[in-house]
Chain A
Amino acid sequence: LAQLMDSETDMVRQIRALDSDMQTLVYENYNKFISATDTIRKMKNDFRKMEDEMDRLANNMAVITDFSARISATLQDRHERITKLAGVHALLRKLQFLFELPSRLTKCVELGAYGQAVRYQGRAQAVLQQYQHLPSFRAIQDDCHVITARLAQQLRQRFREGGSGAPEQAECVELLLALGEPAGELCEEFLAHARGRLEHELRGLEAELGPSPPAPDILEFTDHGGSGFVGGLCQVAAAYQELFAAQGPEGAEKLAAFARELGGRYFELVERRLAQEQGASDNSLLVRALDRFHRRLRAPGALLAAAGLAEAATEIVERVARERLGHHLQGLRAAFLGCLTDVRQVLAAPRLAGKEGPGLAELLANVASSVLSHIKASLAAVHLFTAKEVSFSNKPYFRGEFCSQGVREGLIVGFIRSMCQTAQSFCDSPGEKGSAPPPALLLLLSRLCLDYETATVSYILTLTDEQFLVQDQSPVTPVSTLCAEARETARRLLTHYVKVQGLVISQMLRKSVETRDWLSTLEPRNVRAVMKRVVEDTTAIDVQVGLLYEEGVRKAQSSDSSKRTFSVYSSSRQQGRYAPSYTPSAPMDTNLLSNIQKLFSERIDVFSPVEFNKVSVLTGIIKISLKTLLECVRLRTFGRFGLQQVQVDCHFLQLYLWRFVADEELVHLLLDEVVASAALRCPDPVPMEPSVVEVICERG
């Protein structure tokens, strides 16, 4: 309770404190209330004054309005009259213009100010049309019609005369159009006129084509064509499009047809002119001409997309480019054939005593360099077609197909192939003895093809690829294929050379065996001349081949085996062999047989492919010759001295032929076989003493 009492006293104390606080607040704010009441009272007074002044202002405004209304009422009248007068004046001026129109028109027509006249007419036309029911206007209109008709006629006259250029004509047409002449007819006529002029240009061009007088060069021609015809066509097209734009697609179609037709004729002329250029050797002029031609046609091309002139022009350029490629290929072929003819002439030319003609190696170098320079010249010439500054070089054809299929495949690969073919064709002409190529030519071509295989083909193709950055993805002949072809050609030529030379020597040997009466021949005193001839010819061939081909590999034994040891060896062999044959008995047979066995254990392929070296070539030739000798000997019958002669001849051959071949054993075997066969074909085989044989042979 005491606590409760405490809190009550506390509360009372707090209430008292609050009471006193409130009293102080009221005292403090009392003054403020007083002053506010004063201010409100003052404001009331001011407002009353203001109201009075506003009323006065309103009165004044009403008075002003009244005044202004009155003024405008008085002015209204006058204004109306002035407007009317102005209208009348304008009308009168128009009327005056109308009345004066016929005379003005006449004057204009007389003065030739057609434009002015047409403008007048245009202005009057509508009014006259509207008021034509009034007789006076009617008269004017009629007059105007007459004059306009005359005007139109004169315009047409001028138009038809066509003497003036395209711009004036265009003006005429414009005026006529303004005079309301039918547009369709006009555009027909316009085109007809344009055609007349353009055809004139074409005729001029055609005259330049003229058959007999040497026409101006192609550049001049295309310039004429470009400025005359193409320029004209451009103007016509531009004017037409300007004038007859309203005609819509039909008109454009007309123009396109027109351009197509004339363009076609122009192209025809250009192509005829280009055809005359076909034989020309200079490409730069042609390319420049084509460039101008193409460039010139791009303008109307843009103007007349529908006529397809630009495409047609591009096509022509492409065609010409193709033809040039063909031309260059022909040129290269002809150059190659020319080289061959030269070589043949040099080879066929009689050798002046003491004065050697150019050697084979020199001839080969000449041919190779001449062919190469021709190829380079051709490449340079066709390269012009792809030059940057030439307007058509960025066409897809020239960037892709032209480079890869045209130049690389068509020209270069084509040429190398055709070269190989030409060369191979020399291998395939049997029989015709008159036209048979000289063996030296075969040899030379073979070396040429081999050189192509080892170096030239890849060089040329690299050169081509560098000059013509081939972007086309179409497949091209790889270098390796061409090289293989060239190698095959070289191989065939060389094999053929061996056959031909082998045949030459074979024929000598064969004739010498066939024509001689071996039964009744005298005791041999000499080596027969034909054998010396064989050795001489073989030596000559050796020299000839040596000029172009490397030595090649021999079997080691022969390099240091001298002539002396060889002859001793061979004679001892002979002795061992013929001794028993005086009295036919078994040993001889076995001896012979074993020899034969030996010979054929390593079969000799007589006509076998040769390798690219001198020794292989000579081996081939000697093999063919000796095998022929063997077969021919087997077909004859020999007397004792006949056999001895064969002995002498064979020994002689042995002495001189071994040095040419890869394996001298081969010569031994074949010659032994010849002597053995002769012995078999002899009813009375008494061989000559080897020493005597040697003496005879050494005596030469």
Chain B
Amino acid sequence: MEQARALTPQTAETDAIRFLVGTQSLKYDNQIHIIDFDDENNIINKNVLLHQVGEIWHISASPADKGVLATCYNKTSDSKVLTCAAVWRMPKELESGSHESPDDSSSTTQTLELLCHLDNTAHGNMACVTWEPMGDGKKIISLADNHILLWDLQESSSQAVLASSASLEGKGQLKFTSGRWSPHHNCTQVATANDTTLRGWDTRTMSQIYCIENAHGQLVRDLDFNPNKQYYLASCGDDCRVKFWDTRNVTEPVKTLEEHSHWVWNVRYNHSHDQLVLTGSSDSRVILSNMVSISSEPFGHLVDDDDLSDQEEHHQEEKNKEPLQDSVIATYEEHEDSVYAVDWSSADPWLFASLSYDGRLVVNRVPRALKYHILL
């Protein structure tokens, strides 16, 4: 049992349900666990890859290449800790859904192949790495202390060239805590969090587009873009709140949730049904909320024209759909330690995983009733 904070779905994989988990251990070699969830048989398979350079603080998978991922890891040397970032490739046979589960993991442990380092000697500790969401997997942004760095991965990702960068200037030690690349606007926008502030950046000019000062009462831990509404994003932080923003009007949040009883570390929109919002907190709870009122489907799923064959049936359906309200769908209390990461599966929109510090990974489904309610 090892500590873990890093979790990502295998973004480029759209058939199999796969998550990647990075461990945090100062005593042993760290690993990346490839978790396969067999939906039909309800079985979890695990493959382990060695990640020997250090404990993993953040992990993100390439949206274009199943085999490629990036990690932020701690390198300890001479009583100095430096967080670095690197892009890796996993062995070919592990790229897509595992077929046979290795009986003895220790004997078959394989190692990641290093593609390139994101050289941060001049920039400081890497907080996170985010891929261009719709791109060819060649562009990556990393946040290091007060710098935002845009990298070009060249020559089959064997080299990372710093394309452009920007940095925060101001009083005190400014430090990015988190960042996400927006899938909208042709992938030209990135949002970052530092202290209590949210900022939007244009990746073409590396200039600030908007700034939400005091977005949260305390430190902002994470943010995420609504996949279907281009101006909407969600943020969470140490004030136990989840806030939803319209970046065109940054003075007031559109909506605020206050369900957790401690810091909220993670917030994730469902990739296809953006009313489903997942949050993980150090109160060791995972909460799934249904934010219908500010979703792109305010009245549930839009009915296709084909379905209109029977008028009466249609009316009945409409009636059933009206009364949806913003609500907490479920609170998951399986974890016994702080939950530092939650994410949706890239393959199955009704499935998500959460990871607590004690290394426990829990896979859950959206309640069936709600799923049908949204679909029908």
**Given A606-B283, A627-B282, does the pair A634, B76 have CB atoms closer than 8 Å?**
no
Count chain B residues whose beta carbon lies closer than 8 angstroms to a beta carbon of A.
Answer: 29
Give A357 Cβ to nearest chain B Cβ, in Å. 30
Interface pair B263/A683, CB less than 8 Å apart: no
Residues on B with beta carbons closer than 8 Å to the beta carbon of A503: 218
Complex formed: what's the CA distance from A683 to B214 in Å?
A: 37
Interface pair A631/B76, CB less than 8 Å apart: no
Q: For chain A residues 575-628, which have a beta carbon within 8 Å of chain B?
A: 584, 589, 593, 596-597, 599-600, 603, 605-608, 627
**Given A430-B239, A607-B261, A637-B74, does the pair A519, B214 have CB atoms closer than 8 Å?**
no
B240 at interface (Cβ–Cβ under 8 A)? yes
A681 at interface (Cβ–Cβ under 8 A)? yes
Residues on A with beta carbons closer than 8 Å to the beta carbon of B80: 519
Q: For chain B residues 54-90, which have a beta carbon within 8 Å of chain A?
A: 74, 76, 79-81
Interface pair B282/A631, CB less than 8 Å apart: yes
Residues on B with beta carbons closer than 8 Å to the beta carbon of A432: 214
B29 at interface (Cβ–Cβ under 8 A)? no
**Given A603-B284, A681-B26, A683-B27, does the pair A627, B262 have CB atoms closer than 8 Å?**
yes
Interface pair A430/B1, CB less than 8 Å apart: no
Interface pair A430/B214, CB less than 8 Å apart: yes
A102 at interface (Cβ–Cβ under 8 A)? no
Q: For chain B residues 173-217, which have a beta carbon within 8 Å of chain A?
A: 196, 213-214, 216-217
Partner of B79 from the list A520, A627, A680 (CB cut-off 8 Å) is A520
Complex formed: what's the CA distance from A386 to B1 in Å?
A: 79
Give B368 Cβ to nearest chain A Cβ, in Å. 27
Complex formed: what's the CA distance from A281 to B195 in Å?
A: 50
**Given A606-B283, A631-B338, does the pair A519, B26 have CB atoms closer than 8 Å?**
no
Complex formed: what's the CA distance from A436 to B283 in Å?
A: 27
Give B72 Cβ to nearest chain A Cβ, in Å. 13
How does the 8 Å CB contact mask read for B207-248 relative to A, with 1 for contact and 0 for none? 000000110111000000000000000000001100000000
Interface pair B262/A606, CB less than 8 Å apart: yes
How does the 8 Å CB contact mask read for A172-193 relative to B, with 1 for contact and 0 for none? 0000000000000000000000
Interface pair B1/A637, CB less than 8 Å apart: no
Give A516 Cβ to nearest chain B Cβ, in Å. 12
Q: For chain A residues 617-662, which have a beta carbon within 8 Å of chain B?
A: 627, 631, 634, 637, 639
For residue A589, which residue of chain B has the nearest CB?
B1
Complex formed: what's the CA distance from A150 to B76 in Å?
A: 127
**Given A637-B26, A637-B81, does the pair A683, B76 have CB atoms closer than 8 Å?**
yes
How does the 8 Å CB contact mask read for B277-289 relative to A, with 1 for contact and 0 for none? 0000011100000
B3 at interface (Cβ–Cβ under 8 A)? yes
A211 at interface (Cβ–Cβ under 8 A)? no
Residues on B with beta carbons closer than 8 Å to the beta carbon of A135: none
B358 at interface (Cβ–Cβ under 8 A)? yes
A478 at interface (Cβ–Cβ under 8 A)? no
Interface pair A605/B217, CB less than 8 Å apart: no
B337 at interface (Cβ–Cβ under 8 A)? yes
**Given A431-B214, A589-B1, does the pair A608, B261 have CB atoms closer than 8 Å?**
yes
A233 at interface (Cβ–Cβ under 8 A)? no
A166 at interface (Cβ–Cβ under 8 A)? no
**Given A637-B74, A683-B76, does the pair A600, B214 have CB atoms closer than 8 Å?**
no
Complex formed: what's the CA distance from A631 to B336 in Å?
A: 15
B37 at interface (Cβ–Cβ under 8 A)? no
Partner of A519 from the list B76, B216, B218, B337 (CB cut-off 8 Å) is B76
Q: For chain B residues 317-367, which have a beta carbon within 8 Å of chain A?
A: 333, 336-338, 357-358
A682 at interface (Cβ–Cβ under 8 A)? yes
Complex formed: what's the CA distance from A634 to B263 in Å?
A: 14
**Given A631-B338, A683-B76, does the pair A607, B262 have CB atoms closer than 8 Å?**
yes
Complex formed: what's the CA distance from A667 to B365 in Å?
A: 36
Give B348 Cβ to nearest chain A Cβ, in Å. 29
Complex formed: what's the CA distance from A76 to B317 in Å?
A: 126
Complex formed: what's the CA distance from A430 to B333 in Å?
A: 29
Complex formed: what's the CA distance from A681 to B357 in Å?
A: 12
Give B354 Cβ to nearest chain A Cβ, in Å. 15
Partner of A430 from the list B74, B217, B284 (CB cut-off 8 Å) is B217
Interface of A: prevailing SS: loop
Interface pair B336/A596, CB less than 8 Å apart: yes
Complex formed: what's the CA distance from A675 to B282 in Å?
A: 17
Give A603 Cβ to nearest chain B Cβ, in Å. 7
Complex formed: what's the CA distance from A603 to B332 in Å?
A: 13
For residue A608, which residue of chain B has the nearest CB?
B261
Interface pair B76/A600, CB less than 8 Å apart: no
Complex formed: what's the CA distance from A680 to B26 in Å?
A: 8
**Given A681-B26, A683-B27, does the pair A600, B337 have CB atoms closer than 8 Å?**
yes
Complex formed: what's the CA distance from A368 to B152 in Å?
A: 67
Residues on B with beta carbons closer than 8 Å to the beta carbon of A607: 240, 261-262
Residues on A with beta carbons closer than 8 Å to the beta carbon of B79: 519-520, 639
Residues on A with beta carbons closer than 8 Å to the beta carbon of B333: 603
Residues on A with beta carbons closer than 8 Å to the beta carbon of B196: 431
How does the 8 Å CB contact mask read for A518-558 relative to B, with 1 for contact and 0 for none? 01100000000000000000000000000000000000000
Residues on B with beta carbons closer than 8 Å to the beta carbon of A519: 76, 79-81
Interface pair B338/A596, CB less than 8 Å apart: no
Complex formed: what's the CA distance from A627 to B337 in Å?
A: 12
For residue A503, which residue of chain B has the nearest CB?
B218
How does the 8 Å CB contact mask read for A400-434 relative to B, with 1 for contact and 0 for none? 00000000000000000000000000000011100
Complex formed: what's the CA distance from A605 to B213 in Å?
A: 28
For residue B358, which residue of chain A has the nearest CB?
A596
Residues on B with beta carbons closer than 8 Å to the beta carbon of A608: 261
For residue B28, which residue of chain A has the nearest CB?
A584
Residues on A with beta carbons closer than 8 Å to the beta carbon of B81: 519, 637
Complex formed: what's the CA distance from A596 to B216 in Å?
A: 30
Interface pair B27/A631, CB less than 8 Å apart: no
Complex formed: what's the CA distance from A150 to B373 in Å?
A: 104
Interface pair A605/B214, CB less than 8 Å apart: no
Complex formed: what's the CA distance from A680 to B338 in Å?
A: 15
Give B29 Cβ to nearest chain A Cβ, in Å. 13
Complex formed: what's the CA distance from A408 to B245 in Å?
A: 42
Residues on B with beta carbons closer than 8 Å to the beta carbon of A520: 79
Q: For chain B residues 246-299, which have a beta carbon within 8 Å of chain A?
A: 261-263, 282-284
Residues on A with beta carbons closer than 8 Å to the beta carbon of B263: 631
Residues on B with beta carbons closer than 8 Å to the beta carbon of A593: 1, 358
Complex formed: what's the CA distance from A647 to B111 in Å?
A: 37
Partner of B3 from the list A431, A680, A682, A683 (CB cut-off 8 Å) is A680
For residue B285, which residue of chain A has the nearest CB?
A603
Give A519 Cβ to nearest chain B Cβ, in Å. 4
Give B34 Cβ to nearest chain A Cβ, in Å. 24
Give A515 Cβ to nearest chain B Cβ, in Å. 9
Give B83 Cβ to nearest chain A Cβ, in Å. 10
Interface pair B283/A605, CB less than 8 Å apart: yes
Complex formed: what's the CA distance from A634 to B261 in Å?
A: 19
Complex formed: what's the CA distance from A346 to B301 in Å?
A: 59
Residues on A with beta carbons closer than 8 Å to the beta carbon of B338: 631, 634
For residue B284, which residue of chain A has the nearest CB?
A600
Partner of A596 from the list B213, B261, B337 (CB cut-off 8 Å) is B337
**Given A430-B217, A589-B1, A596-B337, does the pair A606, B261 have CB atoms closer than 8 Å?**
yes
Give B332 Cβ to nearest chain A Cβ, in Å. 13
Give B5 Cβ to nearest chain A Cβ, in Å. 9
Give A355 Cβ to nearest chain B Cβ, in Å. 36
Give A669 Cβ to nearest chain B Cβ, in Å. 13
Residues on A with beta carbons closer than 8 Å to the beta carbon of B3: 680
For the complex of A and B, 10 pairs with smallest distance between CB atoms: A431-B214, A430-B217, A683-B26, A605-B261, A600-B336, A519-B79, A520-B79, A606-B262, A637-B81, A607-B261
Supply 4 further A-B pairs (C-beta < 8 A) apart from A600-B337, A631-B263. A431-B214, A596-B337, A605-B283, A634-B338
Can you list 27 pairs linking A and B with CB atoms under 8 Å apart? Answer: A431-B196, A432-B214, A519-B76, A519-B81, A596-B337, A597-B336, A599-B336, A600-B336, A600-B337, A603-B283, A603-B284, A605-B261, A606-B262, A607-B240, A607-B262, A627-B262, A631-B282, A631-B338, A637-B26, A637-B74, A637-B76, A680-B3, A681-B26, A682-B26, A683-B26, A683-B27, A683-B76
